Amino acid sequence: MKTISKLCWLALLLTQAYTGKAQRERPVRPYLFEHCSQKIPAPVAVLDKAFAATAGNTVKFMFAPGFEFSGTVISSVQKYNNLASVLVKSPALNNALLSISRRINDDHTITYAGRIINENYADAYELVKDPSGNYSFTKIRTEELIQDF
């Protein structure tokens, strides 16, 4: 009976140690765009410039005064007649990725989607279209979106 009691206590202790480790607080990731504005205008002319580049090219996008994104095109793909995507990696922003997609709708209007993101940081930018039709990168917090494994 003493052996069973000791085994139960050992199992309880191991369970407590395991769950205690799982409850530790994760380290907080730093902010990459801490000193940048909440919104960065993204003119359509600059967004279109991304689709002229091919993989391996170095590109530079001047979205707004004080915010320049430069890097190497990792991927430039034309999936369908109406869908193209470009991925640019920027060493200047600690290897942050700029992803831009362009879709030509049935009514021949063009819709853009995109993000500037780095998985090691707690913030990013998402491309958003306002009601007047202008695009801008809006700052988002990725702390709640990206889960660590």
Q: Tokens for 2? A: 């003493």
pLDDT tier, 73 (very low <50, low <70, confident <90, very high otherwise): very high
**Strand-strand pairing, 39-41 and 96-104:** unpaired
Mean pLDDT of the chain: 84
Q: Which has the minimum average pLDDT: 36-45, 95-104, 121-130, 139-148?
A: 139-148
pLDDT level of residue 149 (50, 70, 90 thresholds): very low
Residue pLDDT, tens place only, 129-140: 999 989 999 999
Cα separation, 67 vs 15, whole angstroms: 51
State the average pLDDT over residues 73-98.
91
**pLDDT higher than threshold 90 for residue 127:** yes
User: For position 91, what pLDDT does the model report?
Assistant: 93
**114 to 21, 49, 97: CA distances (angstroms):** 37, 14, 10
Residue 19 is predicted with a pLDDT of: 65
Give per-residue pLDDT as tens, 31-52.
888 888 899 999 999 999 888 8
> Where is pLDDT greater, at 78 or 143?
78
Sequence ranges of the domains in the chain: 39-141
Q: What is the 3-state secondary structure (H, E, C) of 23-74?
A: CCCCCCCCCCCCCCCCEEECCHHHHHHHHHCCCCCEEEEEEECCEEEEEEEE
